[in-house]
Amino acid sequence: MPDFPDVPLLTEFARDDGERRILQFISSRASIGRPFVAPPGTPQERVAALRTAFVATMNDPALVADMKTRLLHHQWSNGGDVKKIIAEVLATPKSLVAKVQAILGHK
């Protein structure tokens, strides 16, 4: 976040690639935020239109000004970025998921 340039990401505390993947997996929910989704089978041209409209809305000068007035953070991710994060989470090896479950106390 631009307002907190000196605050490290969780993944920066990893001592090796295995720890980095674990911390990346754990923090993926925060990276995704609160996504807008469409149902499976939504035509690609509609997905593209929705993504274009979302980006235009997030970049709207009136919205940006309103966010500043309300002292709210205006940080968002586009659909392609969220899709990439989800693909990485889904590609996480089961052995790593099991390790995360053990670390977090999940059965």
Q: Is residue 1 scored above 80 in pLDDT?
A: no
pTM over 0.85: no
The per-residue pLDDT for range 28-85, each reduced to its tens digit, is 888 888 888 899 999 999 999 999 999 999 999 999 999 999 999 888 888 889 999 9
Are 23 and 13 within 8 A, CB to CB? yes
pLDDT, residue 54, reads 94
Looking at mean pLDDT, say which of 16-20, 52-56, 78-82, 87-91 comes out highest.
52-56
- Crossing angle of helices 94-104 and 17-32, in 10° steps, is 80
Residue ranges of domains in the chain: 17-34+43-104
pLDDT, residue 100, reads 92
pLDDT, residue 5, reads 86
Residues 6 or more apart whose CB falls under 8 angstroms from that of 89 comprise: 25, 28
What mean pLDDT do residues 8-34 have? 89
74 by Cβ neighbours in 10 Å (0-12 / 13-18 / 19+) ranks as middle
Find, among 67, 79, 97, the residue nearest to 42 by Cα. 79
